[in-house]
Amino acid sequence: MCASGGSPIISITVQVSYDDNAAWQDAALTGGPRSEYQATVHHPAAADTDGFVSLKMNAVDADGNSTVQTLNHAYALKG
């Protein structure tokens, strides 16, 4: 998987935070490197679900270029 004219992605991680980015947990990834990646997150127990989920992705291509993208408050959890 690569951007138009770019080098292929050789490493990708996705993390999830339930506490406004104080702590991050790795999300399970499937797919890639020649197909789409899919991240799976496991939400906290029902008693702890009020709040927001933030997501962070880190990708590195074959040329050593990297990018980190963070999506704060990607979606809300309601208990």
1-27 pLDDT, tens digit per residue, is 555 567 888 889 999 999 999 999 999
d(CA 64, CA 71): 23
Q: What is the pLDDT of residues 48-61, one digit of tens each?
A: 667 899 999 999 99
- pTM passes above 0.85: no
d(CA 28, CA 25): 10
Residue span of the structural domain in which 47 resides: 9-77
DSSP helix/strand/coil, 50: coil
In a domain, residue 4? The reply is: no
In a domain, residue 2? The reply is: no
**Per-residue model confidence (pLDDT) at position 46:** 63
In a domain, residue 23? The reply is: yes
In a domain, residue 3? The reply is: no
In a domain, residue 1? The reply is: no
Could you tell me which of 32, 25, 27 has the C-alpha nearest to residue 11? 32
The type of residue at 11 is S
**Average model confidence (pLDDT) across the chain:** 87
In a domain, residue 15? The reply is: yes
Number of compact structural domains in the chain: 1
Contact 40, 66 (CB under 8 A): no
